[in-house]
Amino acid sequence: MENKNIAERTERTRWFTEARFGMFIHWGLYAIPARGEWVRSTERMSHEDYLPYFNEFDAAGYRPREWARLAKKAGMKYAVLTAKHHDGFCLWDTKLTDFKAPNTPAGRDLVQEYLDAFRAEGIRVGLYFSIIDWRHPDFPHFRDRQHPHRDDPDYGNENRDFNRYLEFMHGQIRELLTQYGKLDIMWFDFSYGDMAGEKWRASDLMKMVRSLQPHLIVDNRLEGSGENSGTILTANPSGYAGDFACPEQMIPPQGIRNDMGEPVPWEACITLNNHWGYCAADHHWKPADMVIRMLVECVSKNGNLLLNVGPDAKGRIPPSSVEILEALGRWMEDNGGSIYGCGMADLAKPEWGRFTQRGNILYAHLYEPQAGGVCLSHLAGRIEKMRLLADGSEILPANYWNLAEYREHAFFFLNPQSFDNYPLPDPVDTVVEITLKQEP
Ligand code: GLC
């Protein structure tokens, strides 16, 4: 009998596994030092040294509607914005701390504007919430794994009241769940060592989440992190195992299944350069071609791609990121049908690229030009019709003399006049839509 948590998870994540493609947005004070969102930790920066950025943060170029239009153009169906990252800076008008955007020169609630903009573009909205808070006095400092003062005995933990921190943390999450309308995703980050599960009072937290926004989906980092997925990989996930796993900066080789072999919803979160938060010196941008194939790979393994942008100190998405996302959008305009609502095909990965599938519609993603016919292994007799997805042009099955000894397979030529498949119409990924005969 299917575990109740799994049955409910499947229902809750139906839109998510259809959407397949989202925008991650890491933006906050750390965009001013512009050395990544962990700058306080990596540079062991005191709160006092970090405060000038708070006093300077003006969001002068923050136009979330432009962000939303770019996401839409790229074919993204949902977005997740860092409402609060590990530094404890809150982009919304929380009543539980002064360390928030309305108290900076920005002078306003930046989360509300993000939600309004993305909803206006018909994009589902999520918030990232760091369960770690390096700013809060009751969060462990000395000897913590990554706190900016982890090496500083002057920041001992004797007088820190972790329960008081949990009241604060749960209270902030309640604010987000009750004051900003219907949210689609809450993206918690992250657990480590004994700072996991009930240490966060995760059962109480999830009871609150499920009662306030029962449709909301949650990642698995109340238990896990990018290093371990937690009980979502088991047949009996805990009440706070989350609705999807979130491998980080990698795509799982076989996708993700639980220990019963059942598919687990998952989303690979990946940066466009090598930083989540804005890093001025990091020009190591993934080319659009690579990003297209990352997205196809995720979907071919029943997963989603959450692709990150790190806006700069003013709130502008870096031009290099814009260029990549616009190129992605051009490919998605022609080929989005092979992504949305698709997943793993029940076929072996072909030598020349990948498959994605939705019902009886199989998509062949051709990466490599083929000297002869493109081989569709063991699909002889199973194909009703084939079309080039981009322009809808007919592709005929090939039954030529040189294929006579391989009749168990199906073949096609993109260029039937020249019996070949080069050059590919789209050298990055030429997609052929194959309608399979419905099994009797
Ligand atoms: C890791 C990073 C964090 C980032 C997250 C995104 O947890 O530490 O900075 O927000 O990955 O998945």
pLDDT tens-digit profile, the chain (440 residues)? 567 788 899 999 999 999 999 999 999 999 999 999 999 999 999 999 999 999 999 999 999 999 999 999 999 999 999 999 999 999 999 999 999 999 999 999 999 999 999 999 999 999 999 999 999 999 999 999 999 999 999 999 999 999 999 999 999 999 999 999 999 999 999 999 999 999 999 999 999 999 999 999 999 999 999 899 999 999 999 999 999 999 999 999 999 999 999 999 999 999 999 999 999 999 999 999 999 999 999 999 999 999 999 999 999 999 999 999 999 999 999 999 999 999 999 999 999 999 999 999 999 999 999 888 999 999 999 999 999 999 999 999 998 899 999 999 999 999 878 788 899 999 999 999 999 999 77
Q: Are 33 and 53 in contact (CB under 8 A)?
A: yes
Residue 369 makes CB contacts below 8 A (sequence gap 6+) with: 420, 421, 422, 423, 424
Closest ligand 1 atom to 36 CA: 9
CA–CA distance, 149 with 303 (Å, rounded to integer): 37
Domains, the chain, ranges and CATH?
4-338 (3.20.20.80), 353-436 (2.60.40.1180)
Q: What is the pTM of this model?
A: 0.97
CA of 375 to the centre of ligand 1 (A): 41
Query: For ligand 1, what atom is nearest to the CA of residue 38?
Result: 9
The pLDDT value given to residue 372: 84
The CA distance from 349 to 362, in Å, is: 12
Q: In this structure, what DSSP letter does residue 360 have?
A: T
Pocket of ligand 1 (CB under 6 A): 26, 37-38, 189-190, 226, 248, 269, 276
From 38, 82, 246, 276, give the residue whose CB has the most ligand 1 atoms within 8 Å, as the site to mutate: 276
What per-residue string of b and e applies to 260-286 under the rule 16 or more CB within 10 Å gives b?
eeebbbbbbbbbbbebbbbbeebeebb
Structure tokens at 383: 């194909």
Q: Please classify residue 167 by burial: count the beta carbons closer than 10 Å to its beta carbon, then call 0-12 exposed, 13-18 middle and 19+ buried.
A: middle
Residue 2's pLDDT is what? 60
- Work out whether the CA dihedral 36, 180, 109, 114 comes out positive or negative: positive
